[in-house]
Chains A and B, each alone.
Chain A
Amino acid sequence: MIKRIKEAISSFFANIFNTKKHIKLGLYGPPNGGKCLTPDTEIILYDGQIISVKNLFNQIREQKSQFPNFEDFEEAYIQLDDINILVPSLDQQTLKIVPKKVEFVYAQKYKGLIYKITTKSGRVIEGTSDHPIITISNEGIKRTKLFDLNVKDCISITSNLTLNSNLLLNEIKLENYNINGSSIQSITKYHSYKTKAIEIPKILDEDLASFIGYVITESNHVKNRIKFTNSDQGLLEHFEYLTNKLFNIKTIKRLRENKNWEIEINSKTLTDYLSDVLNFNPALSGEKEIPKQLMGLPNNITSALLKVLFDAEGYVPKKIKNNSTEMEYSSKSKKLVNQVQILLNRFGIVGRFKTKVINGQNYYSLLFAGSDNHRLFRDNIGFTIDYKKERLNELCKSGLKRNKFYLPIMYLLEQIRFKENKLQREFYLDSKHPSRMIKDNRITYHRLKSMATNSDNATINILANSDCKWDEIKNIETKEYDGYVYDITVKDTHTFLLADGLISGNSTLANKITKDWLGEEMSSVSRIPHETREIHQKEKVTIKAGSKKLTFNLIDTPGIATKIDYEDFMKFKMNAKDAKERAKEATKGVIEAIRWLDNMDAVVIVLDSTKNPYSQVNITILGNLAARNIPVLIAANKIDLRKSDVNKIQSAFPQYKVLGISAERGDNIEDFYKSLFKVVK
């Protein structure tokens, strides 16, 4: 008989682990909604590239060819290991932007609400309810989930950003060119078509940056020709001069029907060369962009590029109407406008974004007000065109004070003032405005900066010299979403920058897994109890850490309850009919969770380590699982809290492996993995 039992047990385990099907891992505990961004969200990499989170994920997936290349997946984490991708990241302690390594990329299928947050300066973030961003208030600086944000809350955007790209140009692809000394000539398929030879520059300097700037803004750039059109003779001459100097190409100058002058460069070699070396390709006006290698160059070269862009597409108002008179840069390409803002960030200039529709087409603008911004532009960039130069000087002289950005921290500052025992006059260096500032709970950067020169207080100094500004939320929208969502994990600082400069928090890998699998609290997609009312089977969930990899089907259950009161739902502004309907669905979910017990190959049970282990309902299933020899891992969550007592849980279930974790802080996740690998293998 003993032999038969042994055989039965071994065949049971053999069935689990030898079958080609993925094992089914049951999760009993309240689940959660993940923390992610929508696929088109673009982020800034430290080398100057702007890339959508989706493309970044797919790029890494392709590079990690050992990673299963499945088409349709529920959820995947990829550790970057040796792939070195840096992103600019805000250090929450120093408020400085520093380069940090991306550790993981992540994608998951998601069905539910997406939050779209729009700030006063036109910056936007779209993500799941749990996705964190950095906020400031009288309580200080903290991470806040999109779900918890309110209109008028202030969130961080970048104000000083220096990216880092290579000054040396890439080598040309030798097989594509005939090389004769320092000149090159494209090899074409057709013998009859002879391309002109051109000289090529060695490094990226001010001249090449200016040339690229002209081609981006005012040129018709096609496969074998570049045509530059403008009414300003100075710009035309400069473009002609640069073309001759850099590439030794003769240009054709002609007057167009609209009386604008046009300079034409007929050179397939030049367009091939720009494409090969800088990845600078012909693009429609709505898709124009600055090559990534030009996004992180030294100040003088960045200035040369910006000067050309603003000469061509910048606008300075003729008359100063009021305090909010703004300079403007407009383009049909949203990406180009974002890039211009990133380049201006290098000099500390921060503007606002606006979209306008002209003749049915979208135009994107970056506008910046305030004489401090205008002076920064004049002193670091400036114009070549005389009338723009004069108008800018007028703006700088007029002392426009309009400031879009402020800090809502007056109660915090008042506390510091009381501690330092200073009078308002001494502390704020002003006796006229403080009472108004306190009433409105806002202080400008300008004032904070002057206070910092007079104070040793660390908080004031860090805030005044930070690399970010705080932008007020103007609008919060939600919409239903069904598709993939993505996220990245950044080492140490756990923040990264979106293309428009909004600073996003990332969730740590640990948080992601524990939140999504183990659920720290009731789902925050909605805080309504029993929000997950049905079983979610996530197929082919793959986790990879170090050299180990595990693919399984995750059965996300609503957990098991012994009571469901429809009146509990009514506390969440639900009418009686809906509440009853929801309660009915919840009861079905519990029944299904119980029935699924029979199908599990292994189970993770989440218990709250701050609560009495004997009182938690999910333990009901433990005896059941033990009777069926189903491997169990108990995760004792919330070990970051003082009340937590993992030993109490372990002594309540001595026969099981109990692992203390913190979903909030991500503690012990490596051990959790190891235990999970042990339990299922």
Chain B
Amino acid sequence: MLTLQYIPHTELQNMESEDKIRKLLNLVKSDRILLVEGRLKPSEETALIERTMEMIDKKFKGIEIGTIYAEKKNIQPYELLKKQFLQFLGYREGITIIGPASIVKEIKRDPNKIELLTRDSKRRKK
């Protein structure tokens, strides 16, 4: 059975990066696939990978992460300003999927589509 957990932006927006990452990783380690509203900052994303690496052991094999958001190619100047202002408040656009590597084999991403490939459950039990 797969457990999907939705995490709205409001739940994370007031948290420090470190706490945010700890929270996400703890949930992933309990075998949940997270659907996070918005995106992590680039620095948070690398910090997430860094923490993941530190946690890897016999049981926890790492994570799969994928982000989807619509990016307009020809942005008007005022839109750009608006976007930068919103980014200042947090990357709310799009959605981020994070899952444990022992369950999620691969996250395939296209600009507007996301596919989640899961591992064979028999294999997982090994």
Contact = CB atoms under 8 A, between A and B. Distances in A.
Contact of A594 (B50, B63, B109): B50
Nearest to B115: A615
Given A564-B62, A587-B53, A587-B54, A597 B109 contact: no
B49 A560 contact: yes
A624 B63 contact: no
A587 B52 CA distance: 9
Contacts of A595: 50
B53 A564 contact: yes
Contact of A627 (B43, B54, B109, B111): B43
A545 interface: no
Interface SS, B side: mixed
A261 interface: no
Interface in A616-631: 620-624, 626-627
Contacts of A560: 46, 49
A652 B71 CA distance: 10
A74 B65 CA distance: 36
Interface string A544-588: 000000000000000011111110000000000000100110011
A563 B109 contact: no
A615 B49 contact: no
A173 B7 CA distance: 88
Given A562-B63, A564-B53, A564-B56, A612 B108 contact: yes
Contact of B49 (A583, A594, A612): A594
B58 interface: yes
A614 interface: yes
A124 B102 CA distance: 47
B24 interface: no
Nearest to A612: B108
Nearest to B45: A620
Given A562-B64, A564-B56, A587-B53, A614 B46 contact: no
B72 to A, nearest CB: 11
Max count, chain B CB within 10 A of own CB: residue among A583, A594, A615: A615
A563 B64 contact: yes
Given A594-B49, A594-B50, A615-B108, A562 B43 contact: no
Contact of B50 (A591, A615, A626, A652): A591
A562 B50 contact: no
Nearest to A597: B46
B53 to A, nearest CB: 4
A256 B125 CA distance: 89
B101 interface: yes
A603 to B, nearest CB: 13
A612 B110 contact: yes
B42 A623 contact: yes
Contact of B65 (A562, A564, A584, A624): A562
Contacts of A614: 66, 108-111
A247 B61 CA distance: 82
Contacts of A95: none
B113 to A, nearest CB: 10
Max count, chain A CB within 10 A of own CB: residue among B54, B56, B73: B56
A314 B110 CA distance: 73
A419 B60 CA distance: 58
Max count, chain B CB within 10 A of own CB: residue among A562, A587, A652: A562
A654 interface: yes
Contact of A624 (B42, B61, B73): B42
Nearest to A583: B56
A564 B46 CA distance: 16
B27 interface: no
B61 to A, nearest CB: 4
A624 B41 CA distance: 8
A9 B58 CA distance: 45
Interface string B61-79: 1111110000001000000
A562 to B, nearest CB: 5
Max count, chain A CB within 10 A of own CB: residue among B63, B107, B109: B109
A146 interface: no
Max count, chain B CB within 10 A of own CB: residue among A563, A620, A652: A563
A590 interface: yes
Contact of B106 (A566, A615, A654): A615
A623 B45 contact: yes
B46 A562 contact: no
A260 to B, nearest CB: 77
Contacts of A566: 58
B110 A565 contact: no
Interface string A1-29: 00000000000000000000000000000
A562 B52 contact: yes
A602 B58 CA distance: 36
A567 to B, nearest CB: 8
A387 to B, nearest CB: 77
Interface in A595-611: 595, 597
A588 B53 contact: yes
B46 A621 contact: yes
Contact of B53 (A590, A622, A624): A590
Interface string B97-124: 0000100001111110000000000000
A621 to B, nearest CB: 7
Contacts of B50: 590-591, 594-595
Contacts of A624: 42-43, 45-46
Given A580-B58, A624-B42, A590 B49 contact: yes
A140 B50 CA distance: 48
Nearest to B62: A563
Given A562-B49, A583-B56, A588-B53, A627 B42 contact: yes
A565 B43 contact: no
Contacts of A622: 42
Contact of B107 (A583, A597, A615, A627): A615
Contacts of B106: 615
Contacts of A626: 42
A562 B109 contact: no
B62 A565 contact: yes
A655 to B, nearest CB: 10
Contacts of A588: 53
Contacts of B53: 564, 587-588, 590-591
Interface string A265-285: 000000000000000000000
A654 to B, nearest CB: 6
A652 B111 CA distance: 8
B58 A562 contact: no
A244 B111 CA distance: 90
12 contacts: A561-B49, A563-B61, A563-B101, A580-B58, A584-B56, A588-B53, A595-B50, A615-B107, A623-B42, A624-B42, A627-B42, A654-B73
| A-B complex: 10 closest residue pairs judged by Cβ atoms | A563-B62, A623-B42, A563-B101, A614-B109, A587-B53, A624-B42, A565-B61, A590-B53, A591-B53, A587-B56
Given A562-B52, A590-B53, A620-B65, 17 more contacts: A560-B49, A561-B62, A562-B101, A563-B64, A564-B56, A564-B61, A564-B62, A583-B56, A587-B54, A594-B46, A595-B50, A612-B109, A614-B110, A615-B106, A623-B42, A624-B45, A624-B46
